[in-house]
Amino acid sequence: MTMRLGERFRVTLHGTSHGPEVGVSIEGIPAGTPIDPVGIQSQLDRRRPVGRRLATKRQEEDRLLIDSGVDHGRATGGVFRAHVANEDVRREAYDRMGNTPRPGHADYPARVRYGAEADLSGGGIFSGRMTVGLVIGGAIARELLRPLGVDLVAFTRSIAGVEAPVPETIENSDLRARAASNEVGAPDPEAARRMEKAIAEARRDGDSVGGIVEVRATGVPVGLGEPFFDSIESVIAHAVFSVPAVKAVEFGSGFAAARLRGSEHNDPFVWKDGTVVTETNHAGGILGGLATGMPIVFRVAVKPTSSIARPQRTVDLGTGLSTSLVVTGRHDPCIVPRAVVVLESVTAIALADLALRGRYLA
């Protein structure tokens, strides 16, 4: 297994969804970097399930505990280590898969790889709960990037085919405010209502829905990125595909670029206030793997939650027969809203790593 991401800003996840805790160790935070537990906690709160974020018992859940690497509010330069406790481990619900692998889950290949002994209840290390460490790491990475002028925002672009319209020119701050105004994280109130409705319908049907998340990073210094093999796209995509349920990523014009001609797709350079910018941004802010200074823009497809309450056909690995399965336990019918902060976080981690590698940061 590879529980470690990054070269200079190195994030290592520990724990499992049903052990005593999940958490993260980070190497490479420059000594003196301000570490704000309140800010990290607010990012962790964004990761909580839809409908529970406003609940009264919020303060007891996913509480950040910092174990090392911080002194008087600043990074010491040593290894940062933090965790949250797993307070509500219900083993009975998430019991071992036994011999009937759940469709859409890692159960079957994990069984073949790691054997029946490997404890996969509730997903184990395949669980979305492991992303707690990514959110903590992302909060610190965002802090590192701030002095460079980098600003990150992620939001729900679509759920269940319902697309949220986004104005052509909109500031990150405006996007952020709009996305925070509803539980699905979409920057349009009408689309958000329809998305919530689609989620409610899926829940009622014992089913689930997927969607698309968009991430934007402005203020990325021109030239950031490590060609040939550690282009911005490579490093971000590597991180993004570690988030459970992600199936696709496209930068800038993405798949639409395949239908354009070069004369349409190439972004002309122009001067603006003494700075070089491009008139369009089909490149998504990246050329030759390096930042152009235009916003880095990419979209990520999140598949519908695999855990559904409807009966599904599967096999019995013990008897060699066909069977059917109903997955029990508490499940989100749509994880897209929770994936938003996780995808924003891994982007911050990827950019912070590249910023350290390129010496944009001390």
- Window 13 to 72, contacts with a copy of itself (CB under 8 A): 13-16, 19-23, 25, 27, 31-32, 67-69, 71
| CB 297 to a copy of itself: min, Å | 11
> Does 329 interact with a copy of itself (rule: CB under 8 A)?
no
Binding piece for a copy of itself, criterion CB under 8 A, among 36-44, 170-178, 188-196, 291-299: 291-299
| CB 170 to a copy of itself: min, Å | 22
Angle in degrees, 0-180, between the axes of helices 131-145 and 336-357, rounded to the nearest 10: 50
Binding piece for a copy of itself, criterion CB under 8 A, among 50-58, 146-154, 176-184, 239-247: 239-247
| CB 26 to a copy of itself: min, Å | 10
Contact at 8 Å (CB) between 43 and 153?
no
Q: Which is nearer to a copy of itself, 182 or 208 (CB)?
A: 208
**Distance in angstroms between the alpha carbons of the first and the last residue of the chain:** 31
Using CB under 8 A, pick the residue from 56, 169, 204, 261 that binds a copy of itself: 261
The token pair that represents 202 in the structure block: 């899926």
| 218 vs 234: CA distance, rounded Å | 18
Interface positions, 125-144, toward a copy of itself (CB under 8 A): 125-126, 130
Residues 6+ apart with CB under 8 A from 222: 276, 290, 291, 292, 293
Binding piece for a copy of itself, criterion CB under 8 A, among 39-47, 141-149, 169-177, 243-251: 243-251
| 127 vs 125: CA distance, rounded Å | 5
> Does 303 interact with a copy of itself (rule: CB under 8 A)?
yes
Site track for a copy of itself across 90-119, x = CB under 8 A: -----------x-xxxxxxxx-xxx--xxx
> Does 326 interact with a copy of itself (rule: CB under 8 A)?
no
Q: Is 242 helix (H, G, I), strand (E, B) or coil?
A: coil
Using CB under 8 A, pick the residue from 57, 92, 204, 320 that binds a copy of itself: 320
Q: Which is nearer to a copy of itself, 61 or 119 (CB)?
A: 119
Total residue length of the chain: 362
Question: Which sign, positive or negative, has the C-alpha torsion 135, 104, 16, 125?
Answer: negative
| CB 56 to a copy of itself: min, Å | 29
Nearest to 309 by CA among 207, 160, 170: 207
Interface positions, 197-226, toward a copy of itself (CB under 8 A): 202, 205, 207-212, 222-226
Binding piece for a copy of itself, criterion CB under 8 A, among 38-46, 47-55, 142-150, 155-163: 155-163
Give the DSSP letter of residue 238: H
> Does 312 interact with a copy of itself (rule: CB under 8 A)?
yes
| 190 vs 187: CA distance, rounded Å | 9
Binding piece for a copy of itself, criterion CB under 8 A, among 135-143, 176-184, 189-197, 245-253: 245-253
Q: H/E element holding 71?
A: strand 70-71
Distances (CA, A) of 207 to 202, 305, 306, 309: 5, 8, 9, 6
Using CB under 8 A, pick the residue from 218, 278, 345, 347 that binds a copy of itself: 278
> Does 255 interact with a copy of itself (rule: CB under 8 A)?
yes
Q: Which is nearer to a copy of itself, 42 or 165 (CB)?
A: 165
Q: How many residues bind a copy of itself (CB under 8 A)?
A: 138
Residue 42 phi/psi, 5° resolution?
-70, -30
Distances (CA, A) of 131 to 58, 62, 143, 205, 242: 18, 12, 19, 27, 9
| 292 vs 295: CA distance, rounded Å | 8
Binding piece for a copy of itself, criterion CB under 8 A, among 35-43, 77-85, 146-154, 176-184: 77-85
Interface positions, 162-201, toward a copy of itself (CB under 8 A): none
